[in-house]
Structure 1
């Protein structure tokens, strides 16, 4: 199915052209199935369970834009304020020129809460917990919302926050207003029962469009299995004799950096993320991220600005919730776009308590 075919759903040509420029002319298989077989652009509820990069996020975006162009309202729920910020800025840049009012609600953004309660928006990007608060404050909130997109729906299984998301979804599915529900999830073991509970159809898709190598590093050899084909293979990395996993990660990160690779490292705490960022910056011998440092220099001084500046002197960055909103925006843009010079992407360190230490 070609993107131009979405014109039949009264999506303007200008928006279709912008999508084609970004995505190419053809929809991915999962997007085509969601639209043609499961009719998400005709008001049908659907749970899409598929791996990262399979195309489900764009399916949610298309559904939200279609609803907005009909002068209806869509709520786009995300688990983290950093994701809310990124999605808000992305949608605002792409769609406000077409008359679509985009708002956001998170711990960092409360200025739009009154407008969300009054229904003065077309697309609202809302963090899970804020949606729960808004529903408590205004039980009639769902009256004017036609579509609810739930990104990262697999978070419902998270021990810490899954219960809150489940309660919010219960309020949505038992609401007399019955908005369309579109859930976007990584591969789930209980996808069928979840879809039944949410009274939605289920679209399962287990293949990734870009192959992933999953494995274990042991004595300098990365033993991996491919995600799609289950083929096994080996890759030589660095054999570093240490019982400290951080030493092993550091040695292999430096090895990959010297090969010009961009690296994303997950660590279990903010302290460890910053410590490894410092060590990597001192050992990497990379040029400074000049343009990113200029952006950072004009921001208000914070407790972490000096540390972040030190790391960026060697094209290394860390990212966690203690950074200011503006600092996170600079680093996220740096990670996506680089420093406007060839090969100047960061070794990007991200603190996530739900991840094990490792490299991507």
Structure 2
């Protein structure tokens, strides 16, 4: 309760709340009907601070939120974000999710056999497409702020792990 706090403690709490509201994370959190878990907040804050993040947690625990924050952050910063998945079906699903949230003009899709709005600021693609862009030194890499590598457990896949490496 705030009435139990001293004036100095209330002022400090106010400053902390004000600082949190000035971040990109604050409006992102408002997009969800649930509170973020501490690991999600910590990972998102690290992304906003310009750090690379690896999130390892059980299936269904909310790792994708961190990837979606990278998309949000890239759009706020006027940079690109590539969101990679290991298979076309997942790329198609994530593309549909992101189009619903940000609009078809801001989201593209690149798979081995499909190209939609490839110059969009957010492009969902299979990991192989990103690998090929890196090998070719593609101009599409210019302005790239974030790369999300979803479903990284495919690293252990005997036939596809090399793509992740």
TM-score grouping bracket, smaller chain normalisation: 0.7 to 0.9
1:121 corresponds to 2:126: no
Higher relative contact order (CA 8 A, sep 6+): 2
Against the structure 1 CA distance between its residues 47 and 10, is the aligned structure 2 distance closer, same or farther, given a 3 Å change threshold?
closer
Structure number with greater Rg is 1
Question: Retained in 2: the 8 A contact 1:78–1:84?
Answer: yes
Structure-1 residue corresponding to 2:40? 31
Change (3 A) 1:7 1:76: farther
Q: Name the structure 1 match of 2:96.
A: 89
Match of 2:106 among 81, 91, 101: 101
Q: Which runs of 5+ in 1 are unaligned?
A: 167-360
How far did residue 125 of structure 1 move? Answer: 0.5
CA deviations on 1:214-250 (whole Å, 9 max, x unpaired) are xxxxxxxxxxxxxxxxxxxxxxxxxxxxxxxxxxxxx
Greater percentage in helix = 2
Map of 1:58-69 to 2, 5 A cutoff?
58-69=65-76
Residue number in structure 2 paired with 1:77: 84
CA shift in 2, pair 1:49/1:10, >3 Å: closer
Q: Distance in 1 between matches of 2:107 and 2:78?
A: 12
List alignment gaps of at least 5 residues for structure 2.
Answer: 1-18
Report deviation, 1:62. Answer: 1.1
TM-score normalised by length of structure 2? 0.77
CA shift for structure 1 position 9? 2.2
Matched, 1:159 2:141: no
Q: Does 1:40 align with 2:47?
A: yes
**1:78–1:127 contact (8 Å) kept in structure 2:** yes
Structure-2 residue corresponding to 1:9: 23
Shift of 1:96: 1.9
- Matched with 2:13 is none
- Provide the TM-score with structure 1 as the length reference: 0.37
4+ runs of 1 displaced by more than 3 Å? 10-13, 136-141
List aligned pairs for 1:91-240, cutoff 5 A: 91-96=98-103, 101-112=106-117, 115=118, 120-166=119-165
For the residues of structure 1 that align with 2:101 and 2:77, how far apart are their CA atoms? 17
**Please, what is the CA RMSD of the aligned residues?**
2.4
Aligned CA distance change for structure 1 residues 109 and 35 (closer, same or farther; 3 Å): same
Corresponding residue for 1:255? none
How far is the alpha carbon of 1:85 from its aligned partner? 0.4
Secondary structure of the residue aligned to 1:86 is: helix
2:32 paired residue among 20, 27, 33: 20
Q: Distance in 2 between matches of 1:45 and 1:59?
A: 11
Question: Whole-Å Cα distance in 1 between the matches of residues 64 and 96 of structure 2?
Answer: 16
